[in-house]
Amino acid sequence: MLLRYALLTLAIALPVHAAQPLTVDWLDLLPAEDYQAMLDMPDIEHGFGPDADGNFDTSLRQREGLPEVMYSTRVVGEYDGKELRIGGYPVPLETDDQGRYTSLFLVPYAGACIHVPPPPPNQIILVEYPDGVVIDDIYQPYWVQGTLRVEQTSNALADASYQLQASRVWLYDGE
C-alpha cells in the first residue's frame, strides 16, 4: 500500500510534457523511387521567360517536357495523421478580414512560382491556419506545425499531395 501511495504521489508531482512534433525535411516526404529519381535528374532549365504579352507564368503548375518525377503525386503514407513541423517558403493564398493569411502553399525553396520550375505535387503542402499569419516576404522561410494529411488538392494555382492543418506558424529561426 505504501508503494502504491508513493507511486501515485510521484505521478501527480511530475510535470506532464506534451509530445514534441516530429521535425521532417522535404526529402522525407518523397517516396524512395522519387528520391532516387531526383538524385538522377538531369539539369532543368530555370529561365522561363515571359509569354508573348511580356507576362511571366506565376502558377505552381508544371510545364510540359520535364522529367516524370517533377509531376509526381506519390506520397509517404506513414506521415498521414502525424503531428509534425516542417520549414519552408509560403505561397500565400487566402486572407482573413485582418489581412492575415489563413491558407497558403508551403514549398521547399523560395521563388517556386517565379521563373523556376515549381516543385512536384508531392513537395507542395496546402496549409490551413485559421489563426492566420502575416507574411511580409515570401523569401523568408517559416516553420509550420500541425497535423499532416496525405490528400491530393488541386486548384487554379497548383496541385498538392499533402495538406496540413496548422496549429502554429512562425518565422524560421533555424531550430
Q: What is the largest CA-CA distance in the chain?
A: 85
Q: What is the DSSP-derived secondary structure letter of residue 101? A: E
Burial class, 107, CB count within 10 angstroms (exposed 0-12 / middle 13-18 / buried 19+):
buried
Which residue ranges make up each domain of the chain? Answer: 20-38+66-171
Q: Which CATH architecture has domain 20-38+66-171?
A: Beta Barrel (2.40)
Cell numbers found for residue 54: 511580356
Q: What is the DSSP string of 18-37?
A: PPPPEE--GGGGS-HHHHHH
Residue 19: per-residue pLDDT? 73
Strand intervals (E) in 11-100: 22-23, 83-95
12, containing H or E segment: helix 2-13
What backbone phi and psi angles, to 5 degrees, belong to 69? -60, -25
Residue 45: per-residue pLDDT? 58
CA distance 16 to 60: 43
pLDDT in tens, the chain (175 residues): 444 444 344 444 444 456 789 999 999 999 999 999 888 877 665 555 555 676 655 555 556 667 888 889 999 999 999 999 999 999 999 999 999 999 999 999 987 655 567 899 999 999 999 999 999 999 999 999 999 999 999 988 889 999 999 999 999 987 6
